[in-house]
Structure 1
Amino acid sequence: MRRVTRIALAGTATASLALALSACGGTSTSSSSSSDDKGGHKGLALAYDVGGKGDQSFNDAAYEGLKKAKGEFKYDTADIEPTDGETDADKEQRLVSLAKQGFNPVIGVGFAYGPAVKAAAAKFPKTTFGIVDDSSVEAKNVADLVFSEQEASYLAGVAAAKATKTDTVGFIGGVDVPLIHKFAAGFEQGVKDTKPGVKVLSQYLTQTAQEGGFSSPDKGKAAAEGQIEKKADVVYAAAGLSGQGVIEAASTKKVLAIGVDSDQYLQEALAKYKDSILTSATKDVAKAVYTLAKSVEDGKPESGIVRGDLKSGEVGLADSNPAFKNNTAIQDAVKAAQEKIISGAIKVKTS
């Protein structure tokens, strides 16, 4: 399977989509006609992961990519919310419905869409499908949009090790799955390589996504409070919507949080906590979504594994917080680590 690297830039337009449609979950869309599998005459459609739009993280980043594509290509788009307790069959129905309506590409946001994307892509071979955070869906009309999250997490670990005053930091994963293990592994390695004596407290909120690990700020808050009681003064969360609770707890307890996926220092919903958000380990889901849409628009659809990493600039650390940006010790350490990862001198673990 061929491998490609994305090079287009993602944007941050601020338009909103209007009309509501019921299609196995709430959606915003600008049209609702149907068509056979002719490769689609409409534009990009997103099916959101657990937590949905408004998570200030993963799903919202995907939506930014949709907005850029809609603004640039002036076509119809759709984005659909998940439903509680949904099955793989429900997800497949959602994707099939979008493909029938003529949307192209159709993207499942999150590894939970793996089986659904595989099934829908087989039924609509002329439609391009994408899946974010899953590299296992092998089909000619599917792009597996994946990231080297462990690399950004390593840098987060470097920053945490430099920032801690108690020599104890924390990691909170939303769900105990291989994807989140990558975040944990990179973070712990970055901490230990930078300051071996620092203790890393690590835990997962749930065993499955259905239990709310990615969608429960209350669970995130409780977990963070527990780690802070054990002297953690920097807490990194890779937990989707649940991460908002981690950030709230950090702010309340006057310690530092490290956000994930999006630059959470800039998120309006988290503005009252932003002084506690040291940085965020970002991955440019917006860029991945937009670039897949552009490839379809250009008549050269991406397919196979499409990976973003530090070298391509699609994962990294945000520097919006002046306390992070102006800290010379942290900046020098992060820069040195980044150069070594890109050169191959540092091999970051994924588990």
Structure 2
Amino acid sequence: MRRVSRLSQVAVAVASLALAASACGKTSSEASKEEGGKEKDSGTSSSYKGKGIGLAYDIGGQGDQSFNDAAYAGYSKAREEFKIGGVDMEPGDGESSADKVQRLEQLAKQGYDPVIGVGFVYAPAVAAAAKKFPDTTFGIIDDNTVKADNVAGLVFHEEQGSYLAGVAAAKASKAEHIGFVGGVDIPLIHKFEAGYVQGAKSVNPKIKIEKRYLTEKPEEGGFSSPDKGQNAASGQIEAGADVIYHAAGLSGQGVIQEVGSQKKWAIGVDSDQYKQKALAKYKQYILGSALKDVGGAVYDLAKSVVEGKPMKGEQRYDLGSGRVGFSDSNPRYTAMKDVVAAVEKAKKDIVSGKVKVKTVP
């Protein structure tokens, strides 16, 4: 069960925010307060008048060891560095679009700035809330369709990090047979597949690649069902794959657990999954992770608002920016000099423009 308050110094909730939480999702941390209920001195420049960061999680919520946890890391870093408050809110089970709108509007009404929706599912809600609160900066991860002067679309070249994952998988595979597990069959996750397949085939054009999407729609649990991920990975291993890359959020825990238990190679996504406590039992089998620095994007947006120069419009991160990449935390990976060299060469070729990575399978 998730904690109701992770960062507050006292367990005093803002009444109206708690009311919103009961209607459209759990509040997982309240604005930092001093004893007696007073706000801390922000320690920021006098130009920043906000109450802190408002963060609304995607499906799976905090604890997914991937996408949402990456956002939380950036949220925490910004709060600590800029000495500002913040509230991070969980999605409700089976919630409607109206619930998302209410959540974002309540955060803005309470004075949080920026207010960030973690995931493309927040696009309609961000559009509605941004229109109602033009003086608040809104951010949305993985979407650039909301066009407003107070909205920043924080998007990534996921296909580039996935290309590196494909290179690593093909070089590490002894069976010349690898796998891909996508959480939901949507264009965003197709980018991960496209890059992965292209990267693998750049190493071995004849490599065999298993592909599986867990669900057709997000609400069907593709990003939040470790059991579905485990079953998909089991099938791909049975078919002969010895390296499996997932882009499946919380469902990816099941992928990694199954792959690790079978002593094959897993490749994580978004966060450096080798370092995650929930996966410590299997970390020696995590070859690496295709990094997508969602936390860095959250931090960047918060910094821009605190400094009085809010980001707006599309903000796209790539390998060159350092917000996309491939982790090398596992000593077993760094000992594979041929794999490391191939990944580094691929990275340089993408950054230089020599290699163009596909976004569609």
Question: Is 1:54 the equivalent of 2:63?
Answer: yes
Structure 2 partner of 1:130 = 139
Question: Is 1:178 the equivalent of 2:179?
Answer: no
Structure 2 partner of 1:94 = 103
1:31/1:72 Cα in 2 relative to 1: closer, same or farther (>3 Å)?
A: closer
The Cα RMSD (Å) is 1.6
Contact 2:162/2:199, CA 8 A, preserved across alignment: yes
How does 1:50-129 map onto structure 2 within 5 Å?
50-129=59-138
Residue 73 of structure 1: how far off its partner (Å): 1.6
Question: Is 1:283 the equivalent of 2:292?
Answer: yes
Contact 1:63/1:286, CA 8 A, preserved across alignment: yes
Distance 2:122 2:50 in 1: 23
Question: Is 1:26 the equivalent of 2:26?
Answer: yes
Contact 1:48/1:110, CA 8 A, preserved across alignment: yes
Contact 1:40/1:127, CA 8 A, preserved across alignment: no
* 20-29 vs 114-123, greater mean Cα deviation: 20-29
Q: String of CA shifts for 1:240-282, please: whole Å, max 9, x gaps.
A: 0000000000011111100000000000111001011000000
Structure 2, unaligned stretches of length 5 or more?
A: 38-47
Give the alignment's TM-score, normalised by structure 1: 0.92
Pick aligned residue for 2:149 from 125, 134, 140 = 140
> SS at 1:299's partner residue?
coil
Contact 1:216/1:241, CA 8 A, preserved across alignment: yes
Structure 2 partner of 1:233 = 242
Structure 2 partner of 1:167 = 176
Q: String of CA shifts for 1:65-119, please: whole Å, max 9, x gaps.
A: 1111111121210000001111111111100000000000000000110111011
Contact 2:31/2:52, CA 8 A, preserved across alignment: no
Q: String of CA shifts for 1:2-48, please: whole Å, max 9, x gaps.
A: xxxxxxxxxxxxx9413464522111112699xxxxx9621111000
Question: Is 1:309 the equivalent of 2:310?
Answer: no
Distance 1:41 1:149 in 2: 32
> SS at 2:62's partner residue?
coil
Q: String of CA shifts for 1:200-225, please: whole Å, max 9, x gaps.
A: 11110000110000000000000000
Contact 2:117/2:126, CA 8 A, preserved across alignment: yes
Question: Is 1:17 the equivalent of 2:7?
Answer: yes
In structure 2, give the amino acid aligned to 1:30. A
Contact 1:55/1:240, CA 8 A, preserved across alignment: yes
Contact 1:40/1:103, CA 8 A, preserved across alignment: no
Question: Is 1:199 the equivalent of 2:208?
Answer: yes
Structure 2 partner of 1:12 = none
> SS at 2:63's partner residue?
coil
Structure 2 partner of 1:300 = 309
In structure 1, give the amino acid aligned to 2:26. G
Pick aligned residue for 1:188 from 191, 197, 209 = 197
Distance 1:30 1:311 in 2: 35
In structure 2, give the amino acid aligned to 1:311. G
Q: String of CA shifts for 1:286-313, please: whole Å, max 9, x gaps.
A: 1100110010000000000111110111
Contact 1:26/1:81, CA 8 A, preserved across alignment: yes
Distance 2:69 2:320 in 1: 24
Pick aligned residue for 2:352 from 337, 343, 346 = 343
Pick aligned residue for 1:44 from 49, 53, 63 = 53
In structure 1, give the amino acid aligned to 2:306. E
In structure 2, give the amino acid aligned to 1:25. G
> SS at 1:247's partner residue?
helix
State, as a whole percentage, how many aligned pairs show the same letter: 61
Contact 1:40/1:99, CA 8 A, preserved across alignment: no
> SS at 1:240's partner residue?
coil
Question: Is 1:242 the equivalent of 2:269?
Answer: no
In structure 1, give the amino acid aligned to 2:194. A
Structure 1, unaligned stretches of length 5 or more?
A: 1-14, 34-38
> SS at 2:124's partner residue?
helix
Structure 2 partner of 1:3 = none
Question: Is 1:152 the equivalent of 2:161?
Answer: yes
Structure 2 partner of 1:253 = 262
Contact 2:7/2:32, CA 8 A, preserved across alignment: no
Residue 160 of structure 1: how far off its partner (Å): 0.2
